[in-house]
Structure 1
Amino acid sequence: MNSIADILLLAIDIAFWIVLIHIIMSWLITFNVLNMSQPLVYQIWSGLNRLLEPIYGPIRRVLPNTGGLDLAPLIFIFGLYALEIVIRNNILAFA
């Protein structure tokens, strides 16, 4: 069962890095460091949006309107860390 927990923890780490890359890319696009007319930037951006929008959408519907500030990635990262804590604290129950 430890291997299943390790796989879950790896998936949580990968999800964290995907969200972090999405956040950094959104800042770089907003400040015109990255240009959306470049095909590679557009493909990565649209791929990340298609991957993360099904996760962010329900979170955004629950959160109050904060104007231009999107708190959905922060809530998702908080949920990832909470899930990681639960898995790490209960890993000995499966041994």
Structure 2
Amino acid sequence: MAEYGVPGLKFNIYQARGWDIDGTHYKGTGYTDVLAMDGETHYEYGIGSSYSVQSGPLKATAIRATYTTHRASENQADGNINEFRLVTTVPFNIL
């Protein structure tokens, strides 16, 4: 976003989808619940922004905010979530 006068500012958006999920032929032992999955779907989308300080004593300090929504059909183990995260990164020298 430097070209708009705000260096260090970033935005992102994403989407992921899964469809026709079929676990009926699963032969493993750890996740037997997937055997009930036949024609399942799920989707996830998220939007986020971040800013990184460009100069001064806090140079490279970053703050990131993201919002994610995940929706899964009935037999999906991961279920449905709405999640907001606020993450701050402050670099420092130990030595």
Higher radius of gyration, 1 or 2? 2
Q: When you count strand as a share of all residues, which structure comes out higher?
A: 2
Please indicate, yes or no, whether the TM-score normalized by the shorter chain is above 0.5. Answer: no
- More helix by percentage: 1
TM-score, normalised to structure 2's length?
0.22
Compute the TM-score of the two structures, normalised by the length of structure 1.
0.22
Higher RCO (CA-CA < 8 Å; seq separation 6+): 1
